[in-house]
Structure 1
């Protein structure tokens, strides 16, 4: 039996579980190509954190390397090490905060480090000296998100210290937007102004500028002045826009379809409640099907009473409370059979269900929907 966690790349013939994701590699490649063309001559760093937004870290990384992306961005050290272990050679930036005792692993695996404080700079420099190597770092400037990074108004001292670190190569410098997907770009433009002011340090000291990067998906779409030397597309790479109101200046299409199959058909009699808590019942007999997916897969319980699926090209409501492993779908007087395909996210004929819809039903954002799809859901890659 396949271990889907440790071996996430499988073929259609190997599918054991009815519930699975189909990832359209052609859609991913087209989205990447459109982004690259739009931001040229800026470089592109696809963001593959959180299992490539649910699409499967390993195969998406391999595709981005095949497409000659300039850099890869992930959130945590373990993601970077995994990519090195499966043979990815291209530069990889770990975007998140680090602990000093992690630095040797960065250097061992040739991973680029986010330096987000003077203390971390010194730890990286000392460790690199001990290991007789040079660390590659990108300096993180906080321009208004208030997570990690040196505040823009304290950045000059940070940059001066970086110049004194003999065992560090400052390859890049970056910040991150808080509101780039908003219709009101006032704060985003203020953040950009702050970042550009920090960058004047290099001109003032006649220094070569490191790679400057700031733009996430929202900024790529709405704030071209922020593209600078490199951009970091995240959710839009996978064909989902960062917000409902963002300007869609680049056409992208979803790469992910979430499928399952009917495993049981029955008639529910009038007055017989469905599911945990007995939250739903009909006043007439209805036909229903059971589908093997639930909140244990990332099909969120908070969608109970709101979610719909596609079956034979038609929308049907999910009834009762979504359980860990199964949902019940009301098909009223229609017919369905064991093995019939059920679409949870994706298209069937003229109808479609989007990640944005699931987010609305769950009271969250599409980012959470995609990244919450559990690793026990197999990923199948199609051209």
Structure 2
């Protein structure tokens, strides 16, 4: 007799579901101790306070868990890109000063003030917007003045900074906490652009001295500046990708001893032999030259794994490098393992170490024709994150 819908036949036991099998086999592991070690290494190298940048989901590592860890480690300020990120941190209990680095959208100014977030003011017109909102709410705004020294994104031009600084100093409703600019070419230690930007920035800062006003915190160095240009360290540095143990560019020199904090791992979900002449994945772009052992891995571009790695990228299986074959799908991709053997549930490392082999984010980015930043921040929330290290339980 057939079992009714929703019931099991007589004699068949209900399957037991345990926690070990409720999480997706693809996962990101974040080593919080590595982030701690990197923070200390950057502080020792720069010799000034560090403002860790946790924008874009802490570069894929997890906004709230990483921020909580950094607060526990004694960080004195955090940087994010958007007011929404700052609000998320406040709602998670982060009490540190938080600077929002992005441009101000006028209707959101009240949110900055309500959540005690520091604003980037990039023009006199933006300053007036902040003043009006602060006066309406009856609370002073904490601001950082943004100077454009060559990035061409937001900020008052360095040679027009005088009136901007004077207007900010005269404001009854704004407290100047800092002044900063952003380096365009610091990832390349041989670029002459950084020296020009430093000179322009110092010229803009000199307006405070000219009018006898106290100098706010000057900050200029991003990860590239930290690594290559000690003159840009000034009063505070703003490392982003370097904090997570990744070099910002192929031209970057490893002047600070950092180690990667993120690993991306999955497991084999299918093993097969593709016969000679058989094809794999969409478009039949890869053909087996001989009978070939192929495994399927349950992660794809829907998770942020680059489609550009189709028939191009590599992963680690059983401590050996193997090549992706065929096009990366939205949720899966295939790997040819040659004469090796693999079983369902065997670990596959996409980023990280397995045995004596390691695949770094920088390598993945080069194979995909992009930069390490993009690889990290595209790893989205479909992938569960697990945290290891001293503060893992706080995440």
| CA-to-aligned-CA distance 1:58-90 (integer Å, 9 cap, x gap) | 011001101111210000111000000010000
Q: Residue 211 of structure 1 corresponds to which residue in structure 2?
A: 217
Q: Distance in 1 between matches of 2:20 and 2:67?
A: 23
- Residue segments in structure 2 that go unaligned for 5+ positions in a row: 1-18, 390-395
Contact residue 290 and residue 328 of structure 1 kept, 8 A: yes
Distance change in 2, residues 1:14/1:162 (3 Å): farther
| CA-to-aligned-CA distance 1:219-278 (integer Å, 9 cap, x gap) | 111111111111000100000011122222211000000000001111111111100000
The alignment status of 1:32 with 2:32, answered yes or no, reads no
The alignment status of 1:237 with 2:243, answered yes or no, reads yes
Give secondary structure in 2 for the equivalent of 1:43: coil
Q: Residue 44 of structure 1 corresponds to which residue in structure 2?
A: 50
Q: Residue 11 of structure 2 corresponds to which residue in structure 1?
A: none
Q: Which moved more, 1:171-180 or 1:282-291?
A: 282-291
The alignment status of 1:19 with 2:31, answered yes or no, reads no
Distance change in 2, residues 1:13/1:44 (3 Å): farther
The 5 Å alignment of 1:244-263 reads: 244-263=250-269
Q: Distance in 1 between matches of 2:209 and 2:226?
A: 25
Q: Distance in 2 between matches of 1:111 and 1:144?
A: 26
Q: 1:14 Cα shift?
A: 8.0
The alignment status of 1:110 with 2:128, answered yes or no, reads no
Q: Distance in 2 between matches of 1:344 and 1:59?
A: 22
Q: Distance in 2 between matches of 1:294 and 1:352?
A: 20
Structure having the higher Rg: 2
Q: Distance in 1 between matches of 2:191 and 2:331?
A: 42
Q: Distance in 2 between matches of 1:69 and 1:373?
A: 25
Q: 1:307 Cα shift?
A: 0.5
Give secondary structure in 2 for the equivalent of 1:309: strand
Q: 1:185 Cα shift?
A: 3.2
Q: 1:13 Cα shift?
A: 5.2
Contact residue 189 and residue 229 of structure 2 kept, 8 A: no
Q: Distance in 1 between matches of 2:272 and 2:220?
A: 54
Give secondary structure in 2 for the equivalent of 1:173: strand
Contact residue 267 and residue 285 of structure 1 kept, 8 A: yes
Count residues in correspondence: 371
Q: Which moved more, 1:27-36 or 1:245-254?
A: 245-254
Q: Residue 182 of structure 1 corresponds to which residue in structure 2?
A: 188
Give secondary structure in 1 for the equivalent of 2:28: strand
- Structure 1 stretches of 4+ with a deviation exceeding 3 A read 12-15
